[in-house]
Amino acid sequence: MASKPSLALKRRLNAPPEKVYEAWTQPEKMIQWWGVTGHHRAPIAETDLRVGGRFRVQFWTPDDEHHSVSGVYREIVPSSRLVFSWAWQSTPERESQVTVDLKPDNDGTILILTHEQFFSEKARDDHRGGWIMGLDRLEAYFG
């Protein structure tokens, strides 16, 4: 059986792992960096932060296109690791998995994002662009 496409991205952020973890798990912080810029409507984030709990994020593009992604938390290690399923509302049958690892690095954090089990190479490539944009915004959030 052929393996499904995946991607891995790495960033150094100017914040300790505890703060980066909060940015991934607290809705009021998630909406500060998630989604795209250029729309008058802020993203909406909901979390039930426990193994088996769900999250959902909704956002709008500048041309008013609505996007909603959700998943289930599979592993939670505070300030260190999050593993969750990932499925867009428009294609719920195409579930993939995201792992976010946070490693202390002096006064900052090394974030390693691994997104696995993509439906296709095109889906992986589209997500790569989205994650790079999101990580750029997360980096800016921490200055």
Report the DSSP pairing between strands 54-60 and 96-105: unpaired
Q: Is 106 exposed, middle or buried (0-12, 13-18, 19+ CB in 10 A)?
A: exposed
pTM: 0.94
Quick one: how far is CA 15 from the chain centroid?
A: 17
**Domain range 7-141, its CATH number among 3.30.530.20, 3.90.79.10, 3.10.105.10, 3.40.50.2300:** 3.30.530.20
Tell me how far apart the alpha carbons of residues 97 and 120 are, in angstroms, rounded to a whole number.
14
| Extents of the domains making up the chain | 7-141
124 DSSP assignment:
H
- On the question of pLDDT at 1 being above 80, the answer is no
- Of 15-19, 24-28, 37-41, 70-74, the poorest mean pLDDT is in 37-41
Cα–Cα–Cα angle for 118, 119, 123, nearest 5°?
70
**Residue 143 reports pLDDT greater than 60:** yes
Give the CA distances from residue 58 to residues 47, 61, 78, 84, 139, in Å, rounded to whole numbers and listed in that order: 12, 10, 24, 16, 20
**Is residue 17 predicted with pLDDT exceeding 70?**
yes
Q: Tally Cβ neighbours within 10 Å of residue 93.
A: 6
Torsion sign, CA atoms 92, 121, 127, 59? negative
- State the pLDDT at residue 2: 58
Averaged pLDDT of the chain: 94
Q: What is the pLDDT of residues 64-109, one digit of tens each?
A: 889 999 999 999 999 999 999 999 999 999 999 999 999 999 999 9
Question: Which residue did the predictor score with more confidence, 72 or 60?
Answer: 72
